[in-house]
């Protein structure tokens, strides 16, 4: 057997229905489209969600609120998770990414004051909460604000 001899088995492929070829074909006259209306016309299309003139579902259900298009979500790093870094080192978004604390270095990072900080570090981030600033300054750590 050769590659050019391989084909579909007998009866696997049917001939397409030949519409509009006379009444003897069984698909003559209206060509299986019925009578009148948009579905009978050539080039007919209905828009997505069209329900035959009935009020569409998307227009029947109630709408609530709105979405803010350009909302910026901060990536959060808690002060308690800064203990994993070496004391007296400078840590920033790249270090947070390596440690698995944030997902992306392209988005803004905010340090929150949740958890105790035990090591004096220089922390670089886009934003700091007031409680995070207090905790960092209390143990002698520094914080630098990065411009976004």
Domain limits, the chain: 75-145
The DSSP letter of residue 7 is -
Assign 33 to helix, strand or coil. coil
Give pLDDT, residue 47. 86
pLDDT in tens, 83-93: 999 999 999 99
Give pLDDT, residue 40. 86
Write down the pTM of the prediction.
0.56
Contact 114, 134 (CB under 8 A): no
Give CA–CA dist 79/135, Å, rounded: 8
pLDDT in tens, 19-76: 889 988 889 998 888 898 888 888 877 888 889 889 999 999 999 988 888 888 899 9
CATH number of 75-145: 3.100.10.10
DSSP H or E run through 91: strand 90-91
Query: Whose CA is closest to 129, among 116, 115, 111?
Result: 111
Give pLDDT, residue 90. 95
Of 148 and 75, the structure prediction assigns the larger pLDDT to 75
Residue 16 banded pLDDT, cuts 50, 70, 90: confident
């Amino acid at each position: 057997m050769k590659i050019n001899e391989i084909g579909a088995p007998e009866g696997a492929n049917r001939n397409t229905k030949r519409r509009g070829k006379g009444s003897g074909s069984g698909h003559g006259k209206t060509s299986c489209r019925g009578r009148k209306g948009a579905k009978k016309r050539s080039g007919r299309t209905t828009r997505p969600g069209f329900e035959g003139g009935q009020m569409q579902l998307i227009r029947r259900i109630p709408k609530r609120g709105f979405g803010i298009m350009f909302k910026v979500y901060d990536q959060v790093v808690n002060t308690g998770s800064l203990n994993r870094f070496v004391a007296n080192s400078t840590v920033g978004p790249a270090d947070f990414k390596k440690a698995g604390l944030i997902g992306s270095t392209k988005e803004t990072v905010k340090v929150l004051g949740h958890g105790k900080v035990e090591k004096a570090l220089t922390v670089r981030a886009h934003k700091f909460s007031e409680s995070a600033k207090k905790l960092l300054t209390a143990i002698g750590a520094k914080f630098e604000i990065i411009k976004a």
